[in-house]
């Protein structure tokens, strides 16, 4: 079988204990959450990762990669015993979301109070979430294998055998692939993907604005793509600006003064002048959905299963909902006396999550396509639809509840 990489050096112990229940490959936010959730549910679990995350420190500059954690994600992290630490370390709460169209001015506003909630969510640094989860693994009994390399795997009657680079045998009842959008494990399992390249990049930075962000997530749809200003804990805003490839490269090459001017115009000066910025970075945007989420004794989680447009800020939230569903499915199978990696058990997880993830991913894609329409009749119709939606409280509430994962 062809090779992929993963280890057994570093903080890995070299003991040969009994076979594991679950081996999770990939120690990002979703993979680490999966390993922690399964271990806390009583499954013997190992996490294999190529590189340990860099330690997070409050004195560090705020990570450019941030995530908007929905209530469903906060609930999972709280259940895992890490949410309080994340929230109190450095997180930006937001109680409002304001979305408006640059072409017709139509806007929709979401307010937590209208949903009988205190907050809509928190903006948190990716590396803070990952580091906090990583630190909790050992106490939960997770066998951390880092750095780690897997050359291949073979499903057998009662287990799946992992072929590690250094030759140490490792077997588990179930293999979980949480190794990112380019997932080598998914490729080894022969699972294809479908989707499209948006030929866009998201330019990211943290900026200081003339007016406070008001604990509001601001998003403006421009003809070139959506621009989001997300509230950080320190009073600044995190910029996620989706632009065509060539335009993204031009914006990245601007000096700070030029970037601040263009960003101010693009944001309609909603928070006044943009007065300062961090260095910028960018990452490519694509829609990618795995054709299936399971193989024999094998499942996909997170970006390995689905990569979505960031306009709705739901990528990590979808991955953490995968974690919750997988944990609950395996616990139910164990309580019923079933093999946790039996085909019919994994099919139940795969069917539920692939259906939900696909619906969300295609919804985000449809939204991106609709806001790309520039013909005047379509722009007018779009504006009419948004204004109507903003007035339909029950439908708007359903949208907010779905985004929250409630």
Q: How far is CA 69 from CA 121, 129, 195, 319, in A?
A: 6, 10, 25, 11
Residue-level pLDDT at 9: 33
Residue-level pLDDT at 318: 94
Residue-level pLDDT at 402: 65
Residue-level pLDDT at 296: 96
Highest mean pLDDT, choosing among 26-40, 98-112, 155-169: 26-40
For residues 282-303, average pLDDT: 95
**pLDDT of residue 368 exceeding 90:** no
- Per-residue model confidence as pLDDT tens digits over 190-212: 999 999 999 999 999 999 999 99
**pLDDT of residue 345 exceeding 80:** yes
For residues 320-339, average pLDDT: 97
CATH superfamily of 92-124+198-285: D-Amino Acid Oxidase, subunit A, domain 2 (3.30.9.10)
Q: Around 126, how many Cα atoms within 13 Å sit in the side-chain half-sphere?
A: 17
Residue-level pLDDT at 304: 97
Residue-level pLDDT at 18: 45
Residue-level pLDDT at 71: 93
**pLDDT of residue 313 exceeding 70:** no
Instruction: Tell me if 354 sits within 8 A of 293, measured CB to CB.
Output: yes
**pLDDT of residue 392 exceeding 90:** no
Residue-level pLDDT at 404: 66
For residues 151-179, average pLDDT: 90
Residue-level pLDDT at 268: 95
The model carries a pTM of 0.90
Residues 252-258: contacts with CB under 8 Å, at least 24 apart? 252/203, 252/280, 252/282
Q: Partners of 69 in the beta sheet?
A: 122
Residue-level pLDDT at 380: 85
More confident residue, 381 or 353: 353
Residue-level pLDDT at 17: 39
**pLDDT of residue 7 exceeding 70:** no
- Per-residue model confidence as pLDDT tens digits over 239-273: 999 999 999 999 999 999 999 999 999 999 999 99
Residue-level pLDDT at 354: 94
**pLDDT of residue 154 exceeding 70:** yes
Percentage of residues of the chain with pLDDT beyond 70 = 93
For residues 282-302, average pLDDT: 95
Q: Partners of 100 in the beta sheet?
A: 107, 220
How far is Cα 75 from Cα 83, in angstroms, rounded to an integer? 8
Mean pLDDT computed over every residue of the chain:
90
**Residue that has been written with the tokens 């500059």 in this structure:** 61
For residues 33-62, average pLDDT: 95
**pLDDT of residue 28 exceeding 50:** yes
- DSSP track, 233-294: TTS-EEEEEEEEHHHHHHHHHS-HHHHHHHHHHHTTTBTB-EEEEPPPEEEEEEEEEES-SE
**pLDDT of residue 19 exceeding 60:** yes
**pLDDT of residue 283 exceeding 90:** yes
Residue-level pLDDT at 166: 77
1 pLDDT band, cuts 50/70/90, is very low
Of 129-133, 252-256, 299-303, 387-391, where does mean pLDDT reach its minimum? Answer: 387-391
**pLDDT of residue 126 exceeding 90:** yes
Residue-level pLDDT at 232: 97
For residues 141-158, average pLDDT: 91
Residue-level pLDDT at 398: 76
How far is Cα 145 from Cα 46, in angstroms, rounded to an integer? 7
Residue-level pLDDT at 406: 63
Closest CA to 263 of 229, 231, 236, 289: 229
312 pLDDT band, cuts 50/70/90, is low
């Amino acid at each position: 079988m062809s090779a992929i990489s993963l280890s057994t050096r570093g903080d890995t112990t070299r003991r040969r204990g009994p076979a594991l229940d679950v081996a999770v490959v990939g120690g990002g936010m979703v993979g680490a959450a999966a390993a922690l959730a399964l271990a806390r549910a009583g499954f013997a679990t190992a996490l294999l990762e190529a590189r340990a995350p860099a330690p997070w420190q409050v004195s560090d500059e705020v990570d450019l990669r941030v995530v908007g954690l929905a209530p469903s994600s906060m609930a999972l992290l709280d259940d895992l015993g890490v949410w309080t630490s994340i929230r109190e370390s450095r997180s930006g709460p937001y109680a409002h979301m304001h979305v408006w169209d640059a072409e017709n001015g139509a806007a929709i506003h979401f307010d937590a109070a209208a949903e009988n909630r205190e907050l809509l969510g928190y903006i948190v640094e990716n590396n803070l979430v990952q580091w906090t989860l990583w630190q909790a693994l050992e106490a939960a009994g997770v066998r951390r294998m880092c750095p780690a390399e897997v050359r291949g795997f073979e499903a057998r009657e009662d287990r799946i055998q992992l072929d590690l680079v250094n030759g140490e045998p490792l077997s588990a009842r179930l293999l979980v692939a949480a190794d990112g959008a380019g997932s080598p494990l998914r490729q080894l399992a022969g699972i294809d993907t479908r989707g499209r390249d948006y030929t866009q990049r998201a330019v990211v930075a943290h900026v200081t604005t003339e007016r406070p962000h008001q604990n509001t997530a601001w998003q403006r749809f421009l003809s070139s793509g959506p621009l989001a200003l997300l509230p950080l804990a320190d009073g600044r805003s995190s910029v996620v600006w989706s632009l065509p490839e060539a335009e993204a490269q031009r914006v990245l090459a601007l000096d700070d003064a030029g970037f601040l001017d263009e960003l101010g115009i693009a944001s309609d000066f909603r928070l006044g002048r943009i007065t300062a910025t961090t260095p910028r970075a960018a990452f490519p945007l694509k829609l990618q959905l795995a054709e299936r989420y399971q193989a024999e004794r094998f499942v996909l989680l997170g970006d390995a299963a689905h990569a979505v447009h960031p306009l709705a800020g739901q990528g990590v939230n979808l991955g953490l909902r995968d974690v919750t569903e997988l944990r609950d499915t395996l616990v139910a199978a164990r309580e019923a006396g079933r093999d946790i990696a039996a085909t019919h058990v994994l099919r139940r997880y795969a069917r539920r999550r692939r259906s939900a993830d696909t619906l969300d991913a295609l919804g985000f894609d449809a939204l991106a396509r609709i806001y790309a329409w520039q013909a005047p009749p379509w722009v007018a119709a779009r504006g009419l639809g948004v204004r109507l939606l903003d007035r339909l409280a029950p439908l708007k509430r359903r949208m907010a509840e779905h985004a929250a994962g409630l």
